[in-house]
Amino acid sequence: MKRVLYIILIILVGTIFSCKVNYSFTGASIAEDVKTVSVKTFQSYAPLANANLTQTFTEALKDIFLAQTNMDLVTKAGDLQLEGSITGYNVTSVAIQGNETAALNRLSITVKVKFTNTKDKEQDFETSFTRFSDYESSINLASIEDQLIKDINDQLTQDIFNKAVSNW
């Protein structure tokens, strides 16, 4: 009887220690063999874009991968690779009032992203992402442009991160 209990105990302990749960609070589902990410500088090809947009967007994209994963950032040839360009930077009028003036303006930014997963080619994609932020037309864009860009970058990088590692 002791021998049967001993065998059951060994099987039970072996089963418990062989199980592994992979859970992330960010919703990211990254394979265990994916250890590094590389982000090439996103050049701006959008006319009239803010001069700092290239740097602020690229850094925001790096930051989200570092903050929400355990991956290391490498300069090139990461297990996950992101590259692309800023293709759109537009200010348009929205919420036209009765006197044909705009109550709100909208700043929109579009980025084209090429994502390569060297460990799983089925996850690769190349697509464009667009996000915007509205502001009152009575406010000069130059006075709030940096904050609008930060807000839009937060949205864009979250969208890119989700598509790259959350499989949506």
Domain that holds residue 119: 31-165
What pLDDT, on the 0 to 100 scale, is given for residue 8?
Answer: 67
Tell me how many domains the chain contains: 1
In a domain, 25, yes or no: no
CA distances from 18 to 12, 13, 29, 120 (A): 10, 9, 20, 25
- 8 A C-beta contact, residue 108 and residue 141: no
In a domain, 2, yes or no: no
In a domain, 11, yes or no: no
What pLDDT, on the 0 to 100 scale, is given for residue 166?
Answer: 80
CATH (domain of 150): 3.30.160.150
What pLDDT, on the 0 to 100 scale, is given for residue 20?
Answer: 45
In a domain, 6, yes or no: no
3-47 confidence digits (pLDDT tens):
766 666 666 555 565 554 444 444 455 667 789 999 999 999 998
Backbone angles phi, psi at 13, to 5 degrees: -65, -40
What pLDDT, on the 0 to 100 scale, is given for residue 6?
Answer: 62
Entry pTM: 0.78
In a domain, 26, yes or no: no
In a domain, 15, yes or no: no
114-157 confidence digits (pLDDT tens):
999 998 899 999 999 999 999 998 899 999 999 999 999 999 99
